[in-house]
Chain A
Amino acid sequence: MDIGSISLILLLALFVLLAMGMPLGFASGTLACAVLAMKFGPDLLFRDFGRGPLAVVGQAVYRQMTNYVLISVPLFIFMAALLERSGIAKAMYASLNVWLSRTRGGIAIVTSIMAVIMAAMSGIIGGEVVLLGLIALPQMLRLGYNQNLAIGTICASGSLGTMIPPSIVLIFFGLITETSIKSLFTAAFLPGFMLASFFLIYIIIRTQLRPEEAPLPEPDPNDPQPLEKSILFGAFTTIMIMGATALLLLRALIFTAIGAYVVAEDTDPIALGMVAALPYLIGILVAGALLLRFVIGPDRVRLAWQMGKGLVAPIIVIGVVLGSIYGGITGITEAAAMGVVAVFVISLVRGEMTFEVLRDSLIRTMKATGTIIWVTVGAAALAAAYTLVGGPTFVANLIVGAELPTMGVILVMMLIFLVMGMFMDWVGIVLLIMPVFMPIVMALPIEELGFVGGIDPKYVAIWFGVVFTMNMQVSFLSPPFGPAAFYLKSVAPPYISLTDIFRGFMPFIGIQLLALLVLLMWPSLVSVFL
């Protein structure tokens, strides 16, 4: 059978199998076998038991099973499950709220900032929306915030986990397209923060224009005055900087002790880890201590610490995970393991770790891992079979032959992502569509990508990955099946209906599309930090 008819049958069969509720991973696995049967005919397939073209399926599965980066998936899920059951998020909310309680729209701003911090800790989305919905939504509704503003802020910010590293979506994109995951993380940083700051700007402008949508809480007489607050914030920042410096000092001392400071010919000296950096580090520590002791005063320092200590645990977790990756200590997988250990120890110190919490987290981890990995397995088998029969080349020729303008092709892809995102999980999209789309994108003329400033050819795959995660941001919110809405619904007061929730999303979906547009027009945005 020729490749055109195979592709058509494959597409139709996939729709039928998914419509009848067959698990995605097994549907694609079965279709992988079907593709081989159509290509080679049953006699070649079944001539000998135990070998033949069908061996491709088992080999594709085996490749996934021995993929070192894939191990980071269960570990990140495990870490997120442990985080959900710890009081870290609640303490962080309390700490952030202290600083911004007198600002118009303060709780909405705090929610967004908190979502960014949580996104930087784990990168799993559902739990974030649930946590924010439980912590921030009751507060906003009690104060009389506009319901749509409250809902939109929580779900839109809660979905940021896909963009801000470590992000499980980017990990999968990197695995499928064989792009450096570390580069993807770096590249997604700026667009992710751009989106988050768009949300913040929108909240600030909206609440300034319509103050009645975000009433201020009654002033607390014990609350410090604004000026005093700034001094306290300065004190807290100084404590944090001193903590970080002390850690760097410890690191430098360890390097000195184990002899890693010897500069080899072919390696760069370790930043801030050399003996030469010691005087500076000690200097910062002494200056900080003097500032706290004589300028700010011990009483204020104590108060500042009380107000801000909820932020310490998240900063440690972020430091451990992202610090391990960017400090050149470990790869993604080991960073995830370190994150699990960090969250576990923090919960233990906070007195929240029990055997039940550990078991429930592991149960959730196993369910989610089995789900995601087996979709990967099935899709890998399908991709392998489809490549064997020459599918990707066929589709690429089809698209190139249609003679659309370059940005037209990209826009059509965006449309497909957005429509698929309404009905399908991101895992399915990245695993089934990416192997087909990626070669097409790579074949497009580079100079026609974007409108402002071109992009380096070696960053095209990375750019497309970031664009893809931006699309997935929208899919978390888009009606009729945006998962964020259902997550929020499960923790919101009963009088808030699904329609209300989706109505609250509208302006935020607009902001996401705006950010997507910026990224499409100006591709070199992703390569700023690369």
Chain B
Amino acid sequence: MSVESVWLGPMRRPMRLIMLSSTVATGLIALWLILGRLFFGTGIGLKEFLSPADTPSVLLAMIVGAIALLSASIYLSDTCGVVESKSDGFFDVVSLVCSRLAMIATVTVVLVMFYEVVSRYLFGKPTLWANELSLWIAGFVFLLAGLYAMQQRSHIRIYIIYDMMPRWLRKLSDVLSLLLIGSFAFLTVWGGFNESRDKFFRWETFGTAWDPPIPATIKPAILIIVVLVALQALSNLIADWNKEPEHHSAANDIDASEIEAIRKIVKD
């Protein structure tokens, strides 16, 4: 099946290869670690993942896992979903890769919670890490989803007056909006930079049983992603500058192709 490549072009096949091999490798290492813990008493658990430098096998697992995650996000971002608007801004690639990362993360959250519920309820052995892990992952999902929503132009706006404006006034509003989004990003960084930097360098942890470094990672991530969102807004403005104006309504939320897909299911 040949699918139109969005941006990778000839790199598509190698990327697929990297994704598959690193995913398999991650799976094998994970299996080895789990079996080692269960049958050989290596004592390597999720706790060790928080300080990977101490255990070589954990460090290896994390490096290979990161490669798998990144290559999968890059590879998956190369196909445009039917319900997705096309990408044409200079910054879209970054947002698309991030969105795929967030999608994989969402599935991971579901699986982590499912594991937790099963092990607590069926086996009476609640995990120590599931809550914090899902909280940690979800923090990134929330942030990255906002970046993606910006790229897809799906942030909530009120179009009643905007749609009545003449073209030049709309463009003026768009520029003004962009400036304000930019200044919001700037001010957020202005107010929060020291705190984020300190927490990151102190590697501040959450203070719970498993103790993941949630403040140390999420705090800086907020500032970085707010800036990325502002960049994406700039990219949108440039990409949409000469586009025909469209009329907006709540019907824009529902994609025609999506309705077609639902219709097909409902018909048969």
- Docked CA distance A370–B151 (Å): 10
User: Would you call B158 and A423 a contact (CB within 8 A)?
Assistant: yes
- Encoded as 1 (CB less than 8 Å from any B CB) or 0, chain A from 351 to 388 comes to 01000000110111111111101110100000000000
> With the chains together, A252 CA to B25 CA distance in Å?
41
| A319 close to chain B: CB less than 8 A | no
| Contact residues of A between 453 and 493, Cβ < 8 Å to B | 481, 483, 485-487, 489-491
Chain A positions within 8 Å of B81 at CB level = 359-360, 363
Say yes or no for B5: interface residue by CB 8 A criterion.
Answer: no
> How long is the Cα–Cα vector from A367 to B103 in the complex, in angstroms?
10
Evaluate contact between B114 and A341: CB separation under 8 angstroms. Answer: yes
- A367-B218 contact, Cβ under 8 Å, with A19-B161, A58-B223, A360-B258: no
Return the contact of A370 from the options B76, B148, B193, B214 (Cβ within 8 A): B148
Which residues of B from 87 to 139 have beta carbons under 8 Å from A? Answer: 99, 102-103, 106-107, 109-110, 113-114, 116-117, 121-124, 131, 134-135, 138-139
CB distance from B170 to the nearest CB of A (A): 8
The answer to whether A66 and B135 touch across the interface, beta carbons within 8 angstroms, is yes
- CB-based nearest B residue for A86: B265
Q: Does B183 contact A (CB under 8 A)?
A: yes
Closest to B159 in A: A21
Tell me if A415 counts as interface (CB < 8 A to partner B): no
CA distance A487 to B253 in the complex (A): 9
Q: Are B122 and A370 in contact (CB under 8 A)?
A: no
**Chain A 47-71 against B: per-residue CB contact (8 Å), 1 yes, 0 no?**
0011111111111011011101011
Q: Is A337 interfacial (CB-CB < 8 Å)?
A: yes
A20–B143 touching, CB < 8 Å: no
- The listed residue with most A CB atoms (<10 A of its CB), out of B106, B122, B154, is B106
CB atoms of B103 and A366 under 8 A apart? yes
Point out the residues of chain A lying under 8 angstroms from B141, CB to CB.
74, 369
The reply to whether the CB of A217 lies closer than 8 angstroms to some CB of chain B is no
Closest chain B residue to A87, Cβ basis = B265
Contacts of B250 in A (CB 8 A): 481, 483, 485-487
Residues of B within 8 A of A134 (CB): 259, 262-263, 266
A52-B190, A54-B190, A65-B143 known; 19 other A-B pairs, CB under 8 Å? Answer: A19-B160, A20-B165, A22-B181, A26-B184, A50-B197, A51-B193, A65-B139, A74-B138, A78-B106, A134-B266, A338-B117, A360-B82, A363-B103, A366-B148, A368-B154, A375-B156, A377-B142, A423-B160, A483-B253
Q: A19, A50, A64, A337: which contacts B158 (Cβ < 8 A)?
A: A19
Closest CB-CB distance, A432 to chain B, in whole Å?
12
Q: Is A90 engaged at the interface, CB distance under 8 Å to the other chain?
A: yes
Across-interface contacts of B146 in A (CB, < 8 A): 25, 370, 373-374, 377
A207 within 8 A of B: no
Please, what's the 1-or-0 string for B138-168, where 1 marks a CB less than 8 Å from any CB in chain A?
1101111111111010111111111001000
A89 at the interface (CB under 8 A from B): yes
Among B13-21, B28-36, B41-49, B172-180, the one that faces the other chain is B172-180
Docked pose: A377 CA to B155 CA in angstroms? 12
A371 pairs with B155, CB closer than 8 A: yes
Interface stretch of the complex, out of A162-170, A196-204, A326-334, A507-515: A326-334
Main secondary structure of the interface of A (DSSP, over half): helix
Q: Report the separation of the CA atoms of residues A438 and B155 in the bound assembly, to the nearest whole angstrom.
A: 26
- A66/B218 contact (C-beta < 8 A), A74-B145, A90-B266, A338-B114 known: yes
Which residues of B approach A to under 8 Å, CB–CB? 76, 81-84, 99, 102-103, 106-107, 109-110, 113-114, 116-117, 121-124, 131, 134-135, 138-139, 141-150, 152, 154-162, 165, 170, 173-174, 176-177, 180-181, 183-184, 187-188, 190-197, 214-215, 218-219, 222-223, 226, 249-251, 253-254, 256, 258-259, 261-263, 265-266
Of B113, B122, B144, B226, most buried by chain A (CB within 10 Å of CB) is B113
Dominant SS among interface residues on chain B = helix
Distance of B21 from chain A, by nearest CB (Å): 19
Q: Give the chain B neighbours of A66 by CB distance below 8 A.
A: 135, 139, 214, 218
Contacts known (A135-B266, A369-B145, A370-B145); A260 close to B124, Cβ less than 8 A: yes
Whether the pair B149, A85 counts as a contact (CB closer than 8 A) is: no
Q: Provide the A1-44 mask, 1 if CB < 8 A to any CB of B, else 0.
A: 00000000000000001111111111101100100000000000
A17 and B86 alpha carbons, distance in the complex (Å): 27
Closest residue of A by beta carbon distance from B261: A85
Instruction: Please give me the residue from chain B that is nearest to A24 by CB atom.
Output: B156
Do B184 and A30 touch across chains, with their CB atoms under 8 A apart? Answer: yes
User: A487: which of B82, B106, B148, B251 is its contact (CB, 8 Å)?
Assistant: B251
Q: Name the distance in Å between B80's Cβ and chain A's nearest Cβ.
A: 9
The interface residues of chain B lying within 8 Å CB-to-CB of A489 are 251
Report how far A427 CA is from B156 CA in the complex, Å: 9
A78 to B261, Cβ gap below 8 A? no
